[in-house]
Chains A and B, each alone.
Chain A
Amino acid sequence: MKPKKINESLSLNSISPTTNLIINAAFIVYCIFCIAPLILVFMVSITDQTSLAINGYSFFPSKTSFDAYRYLFNDVEKLLRSYGVTIFTCVVGTFFCVLFTMLYAYPISRKSFKYRNFFSFFMFFTMLFQGGLVPWYIMYTKYLHLQDNIIALIMPAVMNAFYVLIAKTFFTINLPDSVLEAARIDGASEFKIFYTIVIPMSTPVIATIALFSFLSYWNDWYLCLLFINDPQYYNLQYSMYQALRSLQFLTSSLASASGNTTSALANVPGETLRMAMAIIGIGPIIFAYPFFQRYFIKGLTIGAVKG
């Protein structure tokens, strides 16, 4: 959202230069607080392990070393696997999330559809009441047998009442019945109308939902924590979580190769390795961020107008 434009001719209507300076200074300080932790993590990841042990974590490493990254890339296969899992769930999950949200929101936004109230309520009731973690977990593991299955990383987040609400509101406002009626008179089927008229007209809302959904799949570790035990299905965030909890996760292949966990661990650049793992995990989202956030803000505003 662009900040509002102030009429420049009304000189009284802008803050004094001193106030302006103070506010700017305050924001600069706060912005440093927002970025500094990321820089710190990066600096630790390129610090030499022994100098780290002496000086602790610092923004200005006394001795730099890329050992940690070298270590991680020794085991690059594991890293690529978790990237692969994350990218797969992001792409497939986002696709189905957008498709199903549209397919659900369109009928319940049409006045001509008699049962729209029932189906709306059916969706929005999930915002009110849920069965809770335990029955849900038991259903996924005992009855659907989705443990250690990549579907368990996708399916729970595909339908979200909030996205349906955004899409439904968008359709109600932006899709006049007359347009659809005209297409119907021309003999278009409901599905033809859906993908030749409805979908092309709703790019803003599709982009919004796709972004929200993509980000939630990208940042997911919770579903992995619940349902995945097999390391080959670990997604990126969960691998980072594992690395945070134990160095063993990062060095398991080394340990099993040498047959001696303690001696293998002794040579590992422990803390720097962790932070290197974090940097590799954060990397893509930071680079995508400048592009991402503009659309995200637009989307949030769409959602907030009636959210």
Chain B
Amino acid sequence: MTTNASTTPDVNITPNASTAPKKKNFWKKTGFIQELVKNKAMFLMLLLPFTLVFVNYYLPMFGVIIAFKNFNYSDGFLGSPWSGLENFKFLFMSDAAWQITRNTILYNLFFIVLGLIFAVLFALALNELRNKFAARLYQSIIFLPYFLSWVVVAYLALAFLDPNGFFNKTIVNIFNLQTVDWYASPQYWPYILVLINLWKNIGYGIVIYIAGISGIDQEYYEAAVLDGASKLQQIRYITIPFLIPFMIVTVIINLGNIFRSDFGLFYQIPMQQGLLAPSTEVLDTYIYKALIMSGDLGMSSAAGLYQSVIGFFTVLIANWAVGKISKENKIF
């Protein structure tokens, strides 16, 4: 882009709307063309990224019509015959629709609640440690899993859960337990997935809350100490109240995304074992599998539209709610 600099004449020194007195706009026509001429450098800067956003995000939005079509590759988006609400009817009449919706929401609820509790607890504890070097070291180590890809985490999980893995060969012997064929026992997977998700993402939450804690004015604590407040009282009456807006905003934003899930977690960790599907299938994995594995475009796009539309409203509501609590955290 920088090469364009030479082709742009230096006409932009003409006063801009913001700096020139407001009156000037009065007799100046303010059409799109004038703006285009005046700010052509701005438009040039936006050109490529704008095109990319358009192609990547907006063109597919028109494609949602295929949820109402009997799509086939040879006729394409526009040529394929309409099928009305057939796709939705099939989706919602299947057992899958209820199951994947329930799984998606329940998993997210647990992630949100437990993630919040542990991140705040860990951040508070790290903050109180006397040895600051140790605190930083712990934080670095806890943050490490956040950097690993889901593929790597799937390997780590396998090392524990494999029939030959650490659990079945070592832990079983130490505690005298029964061996478990983890990859064929759906009943354990809600716990496993919640644990793994916490393990991977808790470091991120800690960073956010530690940043929040370090923003608290020290004078509050000094005053509290003079009044004879104990450490626990300080945490309860100073630190936590300061963090509450943070917590509420985080929770609401996460609630706004309750219909989306981390595809990697649900696709990689259970290793696509069919037996586990009842407890590990979520909307995102269902949509992927219907598209790629069974090639059921109609069902897949109907589920995708269902997710997008409900997701749209939850994000809007969440954003509105965030605005009520703290204006500066509002996204729109």
Residues B19 and A177 in contact, CB atoms below 8 Å apart: yes
Q: Is the CB of B76 within 8 A of A142?
A: yes
Flag if A3 contacts B49 (CB, 8 Å): no
Q: Are B52 and A58 in contact (CB under 8 A)?
A: no
| A31-B142, A132-B301, A165-B331 known; A240+B10 contact, CB < 8 A | no
Task: Count chain A residues whose beta carbon lies closer than 8 angstroms to a beta carbon of B.
Answer: 120
Of the listed stretches B88-96, B104-112, B164-172, B184-192, chain A binds B164-172
Apart from A20-B129, A306-B329, what 6 extra A-B contacts exist at CB < 8 Å? A112-B17, A126-B57, A159-B56, A177-B18, A244-B151, A275-B159
- From A99, A127, A195, A300, B204 is in contact (CB under 8 Å) with A300
What is the 8 Å Cβ interface bit string for chain A, positions 117-138, against chain B (1 contact, 0 not)? 0010111101111111111111
Q: Are A189 and B155 in contact (CB under 8 A)?
A: no
Instruction: Give the nearest-CB partner of A188 in chain B.
Output: B10
Please pick, from B61, B125, B315, B328, the residue contacting A131 in the complex, using a CB distance under 8 A: B61
Residues of B at under 8 Å CB distance from A?
1-2, 4-5, 8-10, 12-13, 16-19, 30, 32, 35, 39, 41-46, 48-50, 52-53, 55-64, 66-67, 71, 73, 76-77, 125-132, 134-136, 138, 140-145, 147-152, 154-160, 162, 164-166, 168-170, 199, 204, 207-208, 210-211, 213-214, 216, 218, 221-222, 225, 228, 230-231, 234, 263-264, 268, 271, 284, 287-288, 291-292, 297, 300-301, 304-305, 307-308, 311-312, 315-316, 328-329, 331-332
How distant is the Cα of A275 from the Cα of B67 in the complex, in angstroms? 42
In the complex, the answer to whether B301 meets A128 with C-beta atoms within 8 Å is no
In the complex, A184→B308 CA distance in Å? 44
Judged by a CB distance under 8 angstroms, whether A12 is at the interface is yes
Whether A134 and B297, one on each chain, are in contact in the complex, defined by CB atoms closer than 8 angstroms, is yes
Which partner residue on chain B sits nearest A226 by CB separation?
B292
Known A128-B315, A156-B56; contact A111-B150, beta-carbon cutoff 8 A:
no
The answer to the question of A55 belonging to the interface, with a C-beta cut-off of 8 Å to chain B, is yes
Q: Which residues of B have CB within 8 Å of A17? A: 130
Interface centre among A103, A107, A144, A191 (most CB of B within 10 A): A191
In the bound complex, do residue A23 and residue B125 qualify as a contact, i.e. CB atoms below 8 Å apart?
yes
Q: Footprint of B on A, CB under 8 Å?
A: 1-7, 10, 12-15, 17, 19-20, 23-24, 26-28, 30-31, 33-35, 37-38, 40-41, 44, 52-53, 55-59, 99-101, 103-104, 106-107, 110-115, 119, 121-124, 126-139, 142, 144, 155-156, 158-159, 165, 177, 181, 184-185, 187-192, 194-195, 215, 218-222, 226, 237-238, 240-241, 244-245, 271, 274-275, 278, 281-282, 285, 289-290, 292-293, 296-297, 300-301, 304-307
- Interchain CB contact under 8 A, A271 and B164: yes
A57: which of B53, B125, B162 is its contact (CB, 8 Å)? B162
Please classify the interface of chain A as helix (H, G, I), strand (E, B), loop, or mixed, using the class held by over half of its residues.
helix
Q: Complex formed: what's the CA distance from A33 to B118 in Å?
A: 15
Chain B residue contacts of A27, Cβ below 8 A = 125-126, 129, 134, 138
State the CA gap A122–B287 with chains docked (Å).
26
Whether the Cβ atoms of A23 and B263 lie closer than 8 Å is no
**Given contact pairs A3-B127, A237-B149, A139 touches B60 in the complex (Cβ within 8 A):** yes
Cβ B39 vs Cβ A114 within 8 A: yes
14 A-B interface contacts by CB (under 8 A) = A10-B222, A30-B138, A35-B144, A40-B160, A131-B304, A132-B307, A133-B288, A136-B56, A155-B56, A156-B56, A191-B41, A300-B208, A301-B207, A304-B208
Give the Cβ gap from B278 to chain A, nearest Cβ, in Å.
22
On whether the beta carbons of B52 and A158 are closer than 8 Å, the reply is yes
Complex contact A34–B145 (CB within 8 A): yes
Q: How far is the CB of A167 from chain B (nearest CB, A)?
A: 11
Closest CB in chain A relative to B265 CB, distance in Å:
12
Complex contacts, A185 vs chain B, CB 8 Å: 13
A304 contacts across to B, CB distance below 8 A: 207-208, 211
Chain A residues lying within 8 Å of B211, measured Cβ to Cβ, are 1, 300-301, 304-305
Residues of A within 8 A of B43 (CB): 107
Instruction: List residues of chain B with CB within 8 A of the CB of A110.
Output: 42
Residues of A within 8 Å of B158, CB to CB, are 244
CA distance in complex: A185, B210 (Å): 44
Tell me the smallest distance from the CB of A58 to a CB of chain B, in Å: 6
Q: Residue of B at shortest CB range from A52?
A: B164
| A3 x B300 contact (CB < 8 A) | no
Q: Tell whether A221 pairs with B60 under 8 Å between CB atoms, given A128-B316, A132-B301.
A: no
Q: Are B141's CB and A219's CB within 8 A?
A: no
How many angstroms between the C-alpha atoms of A23 and B56 in the bound complex? 48
Q: For residue B193, give the distance in angstroms from its CB to the closest CB of chain A.
A: 15
Let me know if B308 and A130 touch, CB within 8 A. Answer: yes
Choice from A13, A40, A271 contacting B234 with Cβ under 8 Å:
A13
Bound together, the chains give a CA A132 to CA B308 distance in angstroms of 7
Rounded to whole Å, the gap between the CB of B283 and the closest CB of chain A is: 10
Task: Find out whether the CB atom of A221 lies under 8 angstroms from the CB atom of B13.
Answer: no
User: Cβ of B50 and Cβ of A104 under 8 Å apart?
Assistant: yes
Pick the contact of B213: A4, A155, A188, A290 (CB < 8 A).
A4
Q: How far is the CB of B263 from chain A (nearest CB, A)?
A: 6
* Cβ contact within 8 Å between A104 and B49: yes
Known: A27-B138, A35-B144, A244-B271. Contact between A119 and B234, CB under 8 A?
Answer: no
In whole angstroms, what is the CA distance A159 to B52 when docked? 7
Complex formed: what's the CA distance from A3 to B132 in Å? 7
